Amino acid sequence: MGLQSFQLESIAKTAKEGARMAGELSLKRMKQPYEVEYKTSASDLVTAVDKEVEEQLVKLILSRFPDHGILGEESTFKQDPNQFDTLWIIDPIDGTTNFVHQQINFSVSISVYHRGEAMVGVVYDPSRDEMFFAVKGEGAYLNDRKLHLDRQVTLEEALLCTSVFWNKRAEQIGIDQIVKKLAGKVRGMRLLGSAALEMAYVAAGRLDGYVSMSLNPWDFGAGRLLVEEAGGIATRMTGEPLPHDAKSSVMACNPTFYEELKQYMNISK
């Protein structure tokens, strides 16, 4: 049984409310002293703010939807997410390194999946007060503006974004070299350091495409729906559908050069 329209409306409202609350809290804490820790390396950071923000999000979600599951980057929710039909996938601060160093180019990512199908996606950029959101079948929006990818783009004209260059697996199978050649073929390459925000920018047409070798579901869960509801395509690099609860490569772009980009990446060789 799918979600009823009134349930979906309530979920979407809570997702946007939660994203704004989380963003405002992160901005407030950014101006105060906070602890920074390493996860796996000096380039993989987590702060006390990440953890506090996720705790507040989990508290809000469960207060309204106690029968829903939550998959969060900081593992605040302790039950098995696979036990739940409706699953919230959250990243309290996507782009923690940017949060620590730049104090811009980070975002809150919240998506809601029902039995594996993306239903709601929200990416909120608190530093610019930009709310990207989408509801399945209802389109994608940036604040009050509807997003639609209707510009014709060839690969040579595309502005792309990627996080492939320092990925070890990409080096092992040669994808980093393919992307370096790709950088010479397209109009330009960018790197923001927040996958959720980068995919939101694809949905908004600020970027024409995004490529990553390996992302966690909280990195791409909301961005995927934003891109799809704006008329774009988001898949694995191979062209296979994205999972909702597992790591995956990601290729999201304007549909007019999707096949060209997929062929160029040549993952299936």
First to last CA, the chain: 40
Asked whether residue 165 carries a pLDDT value surpassing 70, the answer given is: no
Strand boundaries in 115-221, DSSP class E: 117-125, 130-135, 140-142, 145-147, 159-162, 188-190, 209-215
Assess whether pLDDT exceeds 70 at residue 66: yes
So what's the pLDDT on residue 38? 67
Identify the weakest region by mean pLDDT among 10-24, 40-54, 66-80, 237-251.
Answer: 40-54
CA 174 to chain centre: 25
Contact present, 51 and 93 (Cβ < 8 Å): no
pLDDT of residue 49: 85
At residue 41, does pLDDT exceed 70?
no
What 68-75 contacts at long range (C-beta under 8 Å, 24+ apart), as own/partner pairs, is: 71/217, 71/218, 71/245, 72/218, 73/216, 73/218, 74/46, 74/50
pLDDT-derived band of residue 205, with 50, 70 and 90 as boundaries? very high
Cα distances (Å, whole numbers) of residue 228 to 149, 223, 224, 225, 242:
10, 9, 6, 5, 12
Nearest in space to 103 (alpha carbons), one of 34, 51, 56, 200: 34
Structure tokens at 215: 């992302």
Q: How confident is the model at residue 50 (pLDDT cuts 50, 70, 90)?
A: confident
Kindly report the number of other CB atoms within 10 A of residue 170's CB atom.
22
Q: Which of 137-146, 159-168, 188-197 has the lowest mean pLDDT?
A: 159-168
- Cβ atoms of residues 100 and 36 within 8 Å: yes
Query: What pLDDT, in 10s, does the model give residues 143-158?
Result: 999 999 999 999 999 9
**Averaged pLDDT for residues 39-62:** 81
For tokens 């510009």, name the residue: 151
Strand-strand pairing, 117-125 and 130-135: antiparallel
Determine the 3-state secondary structure of 99 from DSSP: helix
The pLDDT value given to residue 269: 42
pLDDT at residue number 268: 42
Tokens of 117: 């199908």
Cα–Cα dist 62/66, whole Å: 4
Segment 245-268, tens digit of pLDDT: 999 999 999 999 999 999 988 654
Helices and strands: H and E segment counts in the chain: 8, 14
- pTM given for the model: 0.91
* Residue 90 near residue 71, CB atoms below 8 Å: yes
Task: Return the C-alpha torsion angle 20, 136, 96, 55, nearest 10.
Answer: 60
Instruction: Return the number of other C-beta atoms located less than 10 Å from residue 97's C-beta.
Output: 17
CA distance 181 to 176: 9
Lowest mean pLDDT among 45-54, 55-64, 116-125, 199-208: 45-54
More confident residue, 74 or 130: 130
